[in-house]
Chain A
Amino acid sequence: MTDLVIETHGLRKEFRSRRGVRVAVQDLDLAVPAGGVHGFLGPNGSGKTTTIRMLLGLAGATQGTMRLFGQPVPSLLPSVIGRIGAVVESPKFSPNFSGRQNLTLLARSIGAPSSRVDAAVETVGLTGRDGDRFKSYSLGMKQRLAIAATLLKEPDLLILDEPTNGLDPAGIREIRETIRQLGESGVTVLLSSHILAEVQQVCTSATIIGNGRMLASGRVDDLIGTSTSYRIGVADPSAAAEVLGRAGFTVSIEGGLSVDTTEPARVTETLGTAGIWLTELTPVRADLETVFLELTAGDTLGGSTEQDR
């Protein structure tokens, strides 16, 4: 049985206001195995950040249970918080303090040596600017500082909520590499992101949520699925479609000839026997974006509202 670093069962979060009750997260069963990078995907307002905030004790759950490293939270959160680094939403630091002052205060609160501040500053590439006030930082620098703060704990679990927001392409690549390296070094990373290509490149597994509910979860390869469709290039697509149809293949000629099959060799054989020679036989692979859009189609922003509670 795989050790789960993050585990939720029947997690629910309601926000009450005069307009009624808004359900941000409902019946969420999240399971993040130890090691690797786990993507946490969902449209805006789907409940990703709320889930992360509940896991970290910043918001209370209306219902359900949560465990981090096997410990129930929030009751035993203090026993595991030292192993968790997190960036939740936008970086939040004292604007009039320098980046180094902000990190120093956080490091002192956990008894970390000042050398760890130096190391964190260097890791995220803020050396030379760490003495500047936080409010003078660009969004990208603020993100780097937030990531530096997570590294102060030398965490076993890193929870990153949109960590590349505001970074330039080089910065995005650096952070992506950092995340990949952390995942490979045994740190479990929960990466909440809208950049699906990034998740697909970095993550080994992912959970997709919409309207506060889990829509899919598993290894990224499994979510995308094995390719069953092939694009075919021939001189006469109509003739080829007729031949393949007669042989029992499911064929589509819209947007180019394609065939659904798990036996591409039979396609070659069938067309060759009919004297039709292939110029192309390319597997059409689904990507995470396609899966994400299919799963989250029709989701409304900000969870569901229950008026009569």
Chain B
Amino acid sequence: MRRLVGVELTRLRWRRAVLLLVAGAVLLPALIGLARVWDTRPVSDTERAQIVQQSQGQINACVDRPRQYGVRKSLPADQIESRCEDVTVGWQLRDPLTLAGERSGGSGMGVVAILTALLLLAGTTFAGHDWNSGSMSNQLLFESRRGRIWTAKALAVTLSALAIAALVSTAYWLAMWATMQARDLPMVDGALTDSLAYGLRGAGFAAAAALGGYALTMLFRSTVATIGVLFAVSVAGGLVIAMLGLSEHWQPQKNVAAIVKDGTTYYVNPPDSCFIGERANAVVEDESECDGERNLSLWAGLGYYGLPLLVTVGASVVSFRRRDVP
């Protein structure tokens, strides 16, 4: 089996389409990282002076009527001016880089999405090429145990995808951390570890997507058919969720977030009874019927994507072992 996996890794490495996708999986996160580093660059004194100058009218208005701007009138005059400057200018300044910010709503999910999409395509095109060229039958003339061929290719795709995604994710978060260090920005304890774990969970998700793409293509025996089916499922799935009025619990992106972020929250509309009578004024307990915020755990996300993946892998293996090979 080790020999076969080695052969498949070589085949994967020699495929130009796969190499292009891998290059994309490295370059696009790098570009995102560069963009984030640029967008969060520290504000220079010149920039700040310029913004203060442009906002002078607002600062003056604040000094005249501080309460309208949320500044206490009882403060000494110099402090009022300083607070007014912060209030009117602060929102125009760039937010500093934080690892937590990048994980929760920043670029983290973007990197995961790119890695997932490109590595899924890599798994798909890798298998599709074997069917398209007809070389699958030639390979079976040298190793007739179809289960071994399927497994060797799956291992090559999954391990490569995992290695690439893990490397890219780790490099991304280390680069963000290094940037913060260079800028002397304060960092919460464990922020780097949390970010690296976030990246590795994302890498695992991307590798699973690559395996899914590969398995589907081995089932449909065509890259185009696989991409078509994935597109149709994503469109139809969204429509079905909307038509059935299912909660955010069933939305694909929420479940991705649950996996990558090690759990996430989603919102539901509490029943009307929660807003009537005594319940309307009662303290709402977490996870109770009237609590609109719900938790979606890592395991729930794994179940959401893991079950279809298992079904796809099973169908793919059975189909490959039983059907005639052209």
| Residue B91 at the chain A interface, CB threshold 8 Å | no
A85 to B138, CA, bound (A): 10
Which residue of the partner chain, among A58, A96, A101, contacts B137 with CB atoms under 8 Å?
Answer: A58
Knowing A59-B325, A96-B16, the reply to whether A88 touches B141 (Cβ < 8 A) is yes
Q: Which A residues are in CB contact (< 8 Å) with B67? A: none
Q: Is B11 an interface residue (CB 8 A)?
A: yes
Q: In whole angstroms, how far apart are the Cα atoms of A60 and B140 in the complex?
A: 14
* With known contacts A56-B141, A57-B140, A108-B10, A93–B3 Cβ distance under 8 A: no
Asked whether any CB of chain B lies closer than 8 Å to the CB of A149, the reply is: yes
> At the interface, yes or no: B64 with Cβ under 8 Å from chain A?
no
Q: Which one of B129, B138, B140, B142 contacts A110 once the chains associate, using CB atoms below 8 Å? A: B142
* In the complex, B6 has a CB within 8 A of chain A: yes
- Contact indicator A94/B135 (Cβ below 8 Å): yes
**CB-based contact A110/B135 at 8 Å:** no
- In the bound complex, how far is the Cα of B141 from the Cα of A152, in angstroms? 12
- Which listed residue, B4, B14, B129, B142, touches A101 by the CB 8 Å rule? B14
Residues of B close to A59: CB separation below 8 A: 324-325
**Which stretch (A74-82, A165-173, A181-189, A272-280) binds chain B?**
A74-82
Asked if A219 lies at the interface with its beta carbon under 8 angstroms from chain B, I say: no
Which residues of chain A have C-beta atoms less than 8 A from B324's C-beta?
53, 58-60
Given A93-B133, A94-B129, are A106 and B142 neighbors across the interface (CB < 8 Å)? yes
B134–A92 touching, CB < 8 Å: yes
Contact A106–B139 (Cβ < 8 Å):
yes
B7 within 8 A of A: yes
Residues of A within 8 A of B16 (CB): 96
In the complex, the number of residue pairs spanning A and B with C-beta atoms less than 8 Å apart equals 72
Q: How far is the CA of A43 from the CA of B28 in the complex (A)?
A: 56
A84's nearest neighbour on chain B, judged by CB, is: B141
The answer on a CB contact under 8 Å between B138 and A97 is no
Q: Is A105 an interface residue (CB 8 A)?
A: yes
Please indicate the chain A residues that have their CB under 8 angstroms from the CB of B15 in the complex. Answer: 96
Of B3, B129, B134, B138, the residue contacting A106 (CB under 8 A) is B138
* 8 Å CB interface, B124-168 against A: 129-130, 133-135, 137-145
Question: What are the residues of chain A within 8 A of B141 when measuring CB–CB?
Answer: 56, 58, 81, 84-86, 88
Q: Which B residues from 18 to 60 make CB contacts under 8 A with A?
A: none
Bound Cα distance A104, B6 (Å): 12
Complex Cα distance, B244 from A273, in Å, reads 107
A250 to B130, CA, bound (A): 62
A2 at the interface (CB under 8 A from B): no
Residue of B nearest to A80 (CB): B144
A74 pairs with B144, CB closer than 8 A: yes
If A97-B14, A108-B3, A108-B7 touch, does A77 touch B133 (CB 8 Å cutoff)? no
Q: Taking the nearest CB of chain B, how far is it from the CB of A67, in angstroms?
A: 15
9 A-B contacts (beta carbon < 8 Å)? A57-B140, A59-B324, A81-B142, A93-B138, A94-B11, A94-B133, A95-B133, A106-B142, A149-B138
Contacts A92-B134, A94-B133 known; list 8 others, CB within 8 Å.
Answer: A78-B145, A88-B137, A92-B138, A105-B11, A108-B6, A108-B7, A111-B3, A153-B142
